[in-house]
A = this chain, B = another copy of it.
Amino acid sequence: VDDLASLVERLPDGAVSTHPGELTSRSRDAWPLAMLREVRGDRLPRPLAVVFPRATEDVAHTLEWATETRTAVVPRGAGSGVCGGAQAVWRGVVLDLSRMSRILEIDDESQTVRAEAGIRGDPLERALSERGLTLGHYPQSMAISSLGGWIAAASAGQASAGYGAIEDRLLGLTAVLGSGRVVQLPAAPRSATGPDLRRMFVGSEGTLAVVTEATLSVARRPESLRWLATAPSSFEAGTALVRELLQRRLHPVVVRVYDEVDAGMTFGPVGHGSGPVAIAAFEASRVGDAGLEEARRLALEAGAGPLGEDYGRHWWGHRNDAVVLYRRIMGDERMFGAGVIVDTMEVAAIWRHVPRLYDAVREALLEHASQAVGCHLSHPYASGASLYFTFLIRAEDDAAAERAYLEAWRRAAAACRGAEGTLSHHHGVGLLKAPFLVDALGPAAVSTLRSLKAAADPAGILNPGKLLETEP
């Protein structure tokens, strides 16, 4: 507490809060297990204080103080992470970036935007939209996630086929290393001046540095999208169809393939009967009739009959509803009752391994989850794709649900590795997957990550236990 007084002295008035409500609301992110624990009355780790920086220098002062006093700091964007990456740490402080949310510059000529890290997706996209621009980065969490969070968690949006993931938009940034040192990387389209330090911060989950500002590449807003929807004979046939679309370089903006279970949940409202569904969107002004015709022909040749354009439009119109639903599931209303937990797992592999990855992870999850494990492919590349599983665990009570949940994750992570998949495509590692990281990446890669951590954060104050397990 003496320590906290010395932090208060270094920062502007009102930057440090110890209000109990603030401490509680920053004790966790949207990790389902933490929600379950909270609902059942467990005490989650409450921080000593919440720090609200308004400028990069406030962040630097906080990290200098934390390094001196060996206080753990948990950087926090908007708290929508689903792996516990922003869960508070006992006797640590939470560094909440939400008051650093200004747009600093939009450059119409270079098509770039520079903004503070705490800005959320919706206001950022709205401001760009007024200039006829878009970031093209549309994670489902858009309304409840922040620019800094996207970088820290290596976010990918629903239009990644067209616009890439967050690292593909990132041109420059300002970050404060654990030591308090400020690193400024000016915007450059590309550079060959040593390893790209921008990339060191993407996916670092608050363990190396706190990103305070970023410059991103934006695009002209497409006037409209043209949708295709088809009914492939199987999920595997649907993935093969998407592979062909991508490898032919037809430049879709959005591509998704749903297995039967997931298709039922997603397209029930448009009257979908049974079987998998594949949808794709193209920029109307770019695809041309010949390109669309080629995509349609490919689908027919693959035995995938046409579905109405309403499938794509329905999905686009409702694509973020799940976020609202999700909050309700685990929140106050507790839709599904005690002993129930819902989560998602997103993995990726090169095409050759995708069918095996689908089978292996699904089977592992079904050992503990209800029959309703659904999956969709949502981020395709020329070389492979991600698979996104949704699963629901139902047990006698919350304690049993927790045990089943952790065991389901353990088995699914092992199954993923066995099928040569990568442990996460875009949700990150956090607390949830940290125990699986050595198995997933191998000891040499994890040891290299630990070296990076030691280099950027010598006192080890930044987000301890996240991404990398705390060493014994």
- The distance in angstroms between the C-alpha atoms of A384 and B216, with both chains bound, is 12
Nearest Cβ on chain B to A138's Cβ, whole angstroms: 16
In the complex, which residue of chain B has the Cβ closest to the Cβ of A220? B247
Contact flags A364-386 to B (C-beta < 8 A → 1, else 0): 00000000000000010111111
* Interface range on chain A (Cβ under 8 Å from partner): 35 or more
Known: A111-B383, A183-B448, A195-B452. A425 touches B202 (CB 8 A): no
Which of A44-52, A313-321, A396-404, A434-442 lies at the binding interface? A434-442
Tell whether A407 is near chain B: CB-to-CB under 8 Å.
no
Known: A189-B385, A290-B288, A350-B189. A203 touches B195 (CB 8 A): yes
Are A422 and B110 interface neighbours, CB within 8 A? Answer: no
Nearest Cβ on chain B to A457's Cβ, whole angstroms: 10
Q: Determine which residue in A153, A250, A351, A427 has the highest number of CB atoms from chain B within 10 A of its CB, and name it.
A: A351
- The distance in angstroms between the C-alpha atoms of A99 and B349, with both chains bound, is 31
Known: A200-B195, A448-B455, A452-B455. A165 touches B183 (CB 8 A): no
Tell whether A204 is near chain B: CB-to-CB under 8 Å.
yes
Contact flags A183-204 to B (C-beta < 8 A → 1, else 0): 1111111111111110111111
Tell whether A447 is near chain B: CB-to-CB under 8 Å.
yes
Are B107 and A190 interface neighbours, CB within 8 A? Answer: no
- The distance in angstroms between the C-alpha atoms of A428 and B192, with both chains bound, is 5
Q: Which of chain B's residues have a CB closer than 8 A to the CB of A441?
A: 185, 193-194
Contact flags A169-183 to B (C-beta < 8 A → 1, else 0): 001000001000111
Q: Which of chain B's residues have a CB closer than 8 A to the CB of A429?
A: 192-194
Are A423 and B251 interface neighbours, CB within 8 A? Answer: no
Are A425 and B288 interface neighbours, CB within 8 A? Answer: no
- The distance in angstroms between the C-alpha atoms of A250 and B251, with both chains bound, is 11
Are B184 and A442 interface neighbours, CB within 8 A? Answer: yes
Nearest Cβ on chain B to A299's Cβ, whole angstroms: 18
Tell whether A142 is near chain B: CB-to-CB under 8 Å.
no
- The distance in angstroms between the C-alpha atoms of A1 and B268, with both chains bound, is 76
Known: A195-B204, A196-B199, A429-B193. A187 touches B451 (CB 8 A): no
Known: A194-B205, A195-B199, A195-B201. A188 touches B290 (CB 8 A): no
In the complex, which residue of chain B has the Cβ closest to the Cβ of A446? B194
Which residue of B219, B384, B467 is within 8 Å of A382 (Cβ)?
B219
Are A350 and B194 interface neighbours, CB within 8 A? Answer: no
Q: Which of chain B's residues have a CB closer than 8 A to the CB of A455?
A: 448, 451-452, 454-455
Are A194 and B203 interface neighbours, CB within 8 A? Answer: yes
Are B184 and A448 interface neighbours, CB within 8 A? Answer: no
In the complex, which residue of chain B has the Cβ closest to the Cβ of A426? B192
- The distance in angstroms between the C-alpha atoms of A368 and B171, with both chains bound, is 33
In the complex, which residue of chain B has the Cβ closest to the Cβ of A442? B184
Q: Which of chain B's residues have a CB closer than 8 A to the CB of A243?
A: 109
Are A190 and B165 interface neighbours, CB within 8 A? Answer: yes
Are A423 and B193 interface neighbours, CB within 8 A? Answer: yes
Q: Which of chain B's residues have a CB closer than 8 A to the CB of A205?
A: 194
Taking CB atoms and an 8 Å cut-off, the chain A residues in 7-65 that contact chain B are none
Taking CB atoms and an 8 Å cut-off, the chain A residues in 192-246 that contact chain B are 192-197, 199-205, 208, 217, 219-220, 243
Taking CB atoms and an 8 Å cut-off, the chain A residues in 302-357 that contact chain B are 348-353
Tell whether A5 is near chain B: CB-to-CB under 8 Å.
no
Are B189 and A348 interface neighbours, CB within 8 A? Answer: yes
In the complex, which residue of chain B has the Cβ closest to the Cβ of A249? B286
Q: Which of chain B's residues have a CB closer than 8 A to the CB of A220?
A: 247-249
Nearest Cβ on chain B to A464's Cβ, whole angstroms: 15
A: residues with CB less than 8 A from B are 107, 109-112, 153-154, 156, 165, 167, 171, 177, 181-197, 199-205, 208, 217, 219-220, 243, 247-251, 283, 286, 288, 290-291, 348-353, 379, 381-386, 420, 422-429, 433, 437, 440-442, 444-445, 447-449, 451-452, 454-456, 467-468
9 closest pairs, A vs B, by CB?
A: A451-B455, A189-B384, A154-B192, A189-B381, A110-B350, A199-B199, A191-B422, A188-B422, A288-B288
Q: List 15 additional A-B contacts (Cβ < 8 Å) besides A183-B445, A189-B349, A192-B428.
A: A110-B384, A111-B383, A171-B383, A184-B442, A188-B350, A189-B379, A193-B428, A193-B441, A195-B202, A195-B452, A219-B382, A220-B247, A250-B286, A251-B251, A448-B455
